[in-house]
Amino acid sequence: MKKRRRFTPEFKSKVALEALREQQPIHQIAKRYEVHPSQVTEWKKALQSNAGAVFKSEHAQHDESLRRKQREDRYLKQVGQLQMEVDFLKEACEKLGVPVPEDELR
């Protein structure tokens, strides 16, 4: 069985940039770099769709990571609140003598 080849990001970007220049057909570029033409096309599309990230400011990246952290904190707070409610209900059920199936309330 043939082993799957792995390409570095630098190699992919080099091939994709060459494909973007459109100085040669995709099949010639693919033949020169010994990759499938559909792979070259896929890398070209990926480069086109993510090119804006290169020019994204550090401030925008910081804002995005800050929003992600706030969302994560909100979720963790919600999980903690739900866990407290479950513990409260378990304790109330025990005081009332109501059996609580362990697999339902964890």
Q: How many C-beta atoms lie closer than 10 Å to residue 16's C-beta?
A: 22
Q: Which of 24, 23, 18, 25 is nearest to 44 (CA)?
A: 18
Q: Kindly report, residue by residue over 36-92, the tens digit of the pLDDT.
A: 999 999 999 999 998 887 777 777 778 888 999 999 999 999 999 999 999 999 999
Can you tell me the distance from the alpha carbon of 2 to that of 74, in angstroms, rounded to the nearest whole number?
47
More confident position, 57 or 8 = 8
Sign of CA dihedral 47, 50, 52, 57: negative
Can you tell me the distance from the alpha carbon of 96 to that of 82, in angstroms, rounded to the nearest whole number?
21
